[in-house]
Amino acid sequence: MNKRLKILIFLLAILSYGCNSSKNDQPLRIKNKSTYTFGNASPDGIGKFYLGREISQVMGSGGAAWLERDSRQQEENAEMAIEKMNLSKESVVADVGAGTGYYSFKIAKEVTAGKVYAVEIQDDFIRYLNDRKKALNTTNVELIKGTSRSTNLPENSVDLVMMADVYHELEYPVETLQSIKKALKPTGKVLLLEYRGEDSSLPIKPLHKTTIKQLNREMEANGFKLFYDGEFLPIQHFLIYKKR
């Protein structure tokens, strides 16, 4: 074999290795980028998508008055939602995305020997929660500053994590759900209250409504299984999930 032929074979071998290496690396690159996808943002979205659903913008503290509106009980029936949570006096509940504490302080009255973790990421809402806690002299509500990726809840500490019209706003739903999973006790559960995406007549912005099919898809992808589907609220789904 002459020298020129040996060089040619060597170069072909390097080229072949490079092509094969590129093919082998390709699935890894796709995997790392496939959790979330990005595109043009809708008027109320952030242009970030999870399993086909665009994540909505977060309601800021300017929406506090809307969260505390006098008509909310009539429109959403929070009293029934809390009744259906089947809490005991010793229950430990986390209200993730607590906002003004509309649910947190109501639940605190039910779990007199337990605790409510009011989890918030927005400083304005945290100040609001602190002021309200002092005004009501509530001792069993503990405030936790979360992040866009974590609830920062103690591990293995919570019986029920609830999110009231919050899940669709999570910037990092996968990471947040994993932090919730760690915080739940072995028999702990997750409650999602979400405006019904199946109802086109419901006067709620499209990205702030979610279908059961989509919620089940996302929760199952993160290791949760639908435990109870309660369709008794006026305009919201009442969906309880347990860990697989």
Q: How many CB atoms lie within 10 A of CB 193?
A: 21
pLDDT at 32 over 70: no
Interval 151-171: pLDDT, tens = 999 999 999 999 999 999 999
pTM for the full predicted model:
0.85
Interval 51-97: pLDDT, tens = 999 999 999 999 999 999 999 999 999 999 999 999 999 999 999 99
**DSSP helix/strand/coil, 35:** coil
Interval 193-222: pLDDT, tens = 999 999 999 999 999 999 999 999 999 999
> DSSP assignment, residue 179?
H
Answer yes or no: are the C-beta atoms of 95 and 116 closer than 8 Å: yes
pLDDT at 20 over 70: no
d(CA 221, CA 78): 29
Higher-confidence residue: 186 or 10?
A: 186
**Per-residue model confidence (pLDDT) at position 30:** 29
DSSP string of 72-137, one letter each residue = HHHHH-HHHHHHTT---TT-EEEEET-TTTTTHHHHHTT-TTSEEEEEE--HHHHHHHHHHHHHHT
Radius of gyration of the chain (CA): 23
d(CA 163, CA 119): 10
pLDDT at 29 over 50: no
Answer yes or no: are the C-beta atoms of 81 and 163 closer than 8 Å: no
